[in-house]
Amino acid sequence: MPPDLAALATGFSRAVHDAGVPSSPERTVRFARALELLRPTSRTRLYWTARSVFVSSQTDLRVFDAVFARVFDGVVDPADARGDQTAPPLEGAAPAGRPPADRTHATEASGGGQPSSAPPGERRSDAPEQEVPLALASPDERLAAKDFAELEPDELIALRRLMSALAPATPLRRTRRARRARRGDHVDVRATLRASHRTGGDPVRLLRRRRELRRRPLVVLCDISGSMEPYSRAFLTFLHGAVGAAHAEAFVFATRLTRLTRALRGHQPDLAINRAAAAAPDWSGGTRIGAALGRFNDEYGRRGMARGAVVVIVSDGWETGDPARLARELERLRRLAYRTVWVNPRKAAREFVPATAGMAAALPHVDAFVGGHNLGAMSEVLEEIGAS
């Protein structure tokens, strides 16, 4: 599989920038174009391609060499071991007191010589060229590890393709309806007697019935208030996939509750998400979670939509209403639903503490509390949806 040159250029540019060498998006683009034109198949060719783009001053050369060696050779920065007399010599480093054998410009005795212009760790000219492995993390792997709040518009479009592969599956349950089965649990007396008329009233063959197994209903309620705006677009993509794959019921809320199941149907995610965003009049508004859950319980839950269902609530728990009402509505919902899962993408932060009034009131009344801040963390959300 050919290497992703754009990913290579982006990753190396970021490493150079973090080390202190000036690196702008323009230089990243120039490096990617240079890789496409030159197709560096050796370490030396790759080194000079990168150096011609990123190094514009002699003061940056030593830092650039260390970054290049660390990224492509796995060599530790020589500065890490500087000053330690007992440290073993680094791989590719020359013995102390002697210049490297492959330096093209020896340092002058006065100490005022220029740094070497040869690539660090370069093999001798009579040795065969070393192939450079250009394998980095794939774009999908980097996207899966990136927080939803940090996604760029083009990455959000790519996320929709990956989100469509997520197929939430609720646990199975036995229905009251039974169907004919060869190895059923019960004898179908009526069907057996009807069939016995063909054999002179003798029930030669016993017909059986078995209760059907079906997936539990799935209901997703997503917070689209101002505090959840960095995550709302990504979770709308999840709602679209859940409606298509699991026939889920989708709702969004901020200051009011809006049902988006019909708007999110269809095989074109861009069109469906735009319809859903236009259908919610309170986008990026305040947060009244208790009032939204109260309306859901009164208008949809009591009609049977939440009965025996897995209910997923996506919210950071910032409640501007009465937290006591939120607790009451969650308790009502818990008596109807089979399982209640609360997804809070802020949970992934190191300093996160569920100390907000809304989150503290909600936690005693939910069955699972998960993060879901990126595509990789969505696997935990799917596990909780399918838990029995």
In the chain, domain spans: 5-136, 158-169+216-386, 176-213
Residue pointed to by tokens 């990753």 = 11
CA distance 272 to 251: 14
Q: Judging by beta carbons within 10 Å of its beta carbon (0-12, 13-18, 19+), is residue 69 exposed, middle or buried? A: buried
CATH no. for 158-169+216-386: 3.40.50.410
Assess whether pLDDT exceeds 90 at residue 351: no
User: What is the rounded distance in angstroms from the CA atom of residue 310 to the CA atom of residue 384?
Assistant: 9
SS3 46: helix
First to last CA, the chain: 41
pLDDT digits (tens, 9 = 90+) for 295-334: 999 999 988 999 999 999 999 999 999 999 999 999 999 9
pLDDT class of 96 with cuts at 50, 70, 90: very low
**Residue, of 373 and 87, whose pLDDT is higher:** 373
162 by Cβ neighbours in 10 Å (0-12 / 13-18 / 19+) ranks as: middle
Q: Report DSSP state, residue 301.
A: I
**What order of strands is seen across the sheet that includes strand 208-215?**
172-181, 208-215, 186-187
Query: Cβ atoms within 10 A of the Cβ of 230, count?
Result: 16
Q: What is the pTM of this model?
A: 0.61
pLDDT in tens, 22-51: 777 778 888 888 787 777 677 888 888 888
Burial 314-332 (b: 16+ CB within 10 A, else e): bbbbbbbbebebbbbbbeb
How confident is the model over 346-370, as a mean pLDDT? 91
Mean pLDDT of the residues in the chain: 80
Angle value at C-alpha 382, between 378 and 388, nearest 5 degrees: 150
pLDDT level of residue 2 (50, 70, 90 thresholds): low
pLDDT reported for residue 63 = 86
Whether residue 61 is predicted with pLDDT greater than 90 in this model: the reply is no
Which structure tokens are listed for 9? 């250029």
Residue 79, classed as helix, strand or coil, is helix
Closest C-alpha to 169, from 237, 247, 235: 247
Tell me the C-alpha distance between 95 and 73, whole Å: 19
pLDDT for 69 equals 87
Helix axis angle for 5-19 and 25-38, nearest 10°, is 140
